[in-house]
Structure 1
């Protein structure tokens, strides 16, 4: 428990610092995190019969994230982004030169790794540039709401949890914890609206609901993935916490939806 607490504290400090230190640090740090998540995904799912194209897949992810970062920072135009899509096609071609048992399955897992572990971070990075210029308080607010939801779900589930949410996927999650997490996130959203501004109160509270609901789904999807491949944690890079995917599972579904919500209300 002590190791977990210490790791969690320093990890949160690093994440907050990466957001607040400016746009270059923000996109560089989370591009690195996303690339590591793709690598972690490939390592997690790899078995004798499943052999994703690890190096090429990680390379394609890194290329795409760099191009997106340059576009967000206005170093390159957004028209360069299709280059990363073209790079994905090389995954199909590379599979022709391998002698694995199930090449199409390998390509499928390689593509899923990009979709699951890299693309959501592109949307998260996009949150910092919703208003065209970088605003650290939007991605910071997202992270605070995500952490608040996790904390509220844990406290409510531990004290009042009776009814299982998805017992076959995650036996410890309860409906009481789910509702408690969403409620605490909404309260946090109201508080953030008073200090961060940027959006009206209702927007922050809607963000909190989206994060509370779909952050929980992200957690459950990652639990389903780990059960499917027979692992307890996605990795061991964070002592007491597991892997990076274990820490960012809620972001993977919530970030794209929050980005879509904010771009719609910004019109």
Structure 2
């Protein structure tokens, strides 16, 4: 528990620091985290019958994230974005040169790794630029709500949890924990609206509901993935916490939806 607390404290400190230090630190750190998540995904699903194109997949993820990050920072025009699609198509060609039993299955897992572990981080980074100029307090608010939801779910689940949410996927999650997490996330949204007044109250509340509901579903989806491949943690990079995907599972579904909500609202 002590190791978990120390790791969690410093990890949160690094994330908050990167967000507040400015657009270059923000984009650089979260691009690196996304690349590591893609690598972690490929390592997690790798078996004798499933062999994702690790080198090519991580390379495509790195290329796409650097490209999108450069566009967000204003270093490259949006017209460069289609080149990321060309890079993805190279995965098909790379599979031709590998002598594996199920090449199409390998390509499918490689593509799923990009969709699951890289693209959501692009949406999260885009939250910082949803108003065109960099605003650190939108991604920071997202992270605070996400962490608050996790805390509320844990506390409510431990103290009042009786009814299982998806027992076959995650035996420890309960409806009481789910509701408690969403309620605490909404309370966090109310508080953030007071300090970060550039968004109206109702926007923060809607954002909190999206994060609370879909952050929990993201957690369950990752649990389903780990159960499917027979692992307890996605990795061991963070002592006491498992892997990066274990820490960002809620972000993977919630971030794209929050971005779409804010982009259409602003």
* 1:16 match: 16
CA distances 1:226-262 after superposition (whole Å, capped 9, x unpaired): 0000000000000000000000000000000000000
Q: Scaled by the length of structure 1, what TM-score is found? A: 0.99
Q: Give the Cα–Cα distance (whole angstroms) in 2 for the partners of residues 3 and 9 of structure 1.
A: 10
Give the CA deviation at 1:183. Answer: 0.2
Aligned counterparts of 1:83 and 1:29: Cα–Cα separation in 2: 22
1:104 paired residue number? 104
Which 5+ residue runs of structure 1 have no aligned equivalent? Answer: none
Deviation at 1:125, TM superposition (A): 0.2
Trace 1:1-267 onto structure 2 (pairs within 5 A).
1-266=1-266
Q: Deviations over 1:130-178 (max 9, x none)?
A: 1100000000000000000000000000000000000000000000000
Moved over 2 A (4+): none
Count of aligned residue pairs for this structure pair:
266
Distance 2:264 2:84 in 1: 26
TM-score norm. by structure 2 comes to 1.00
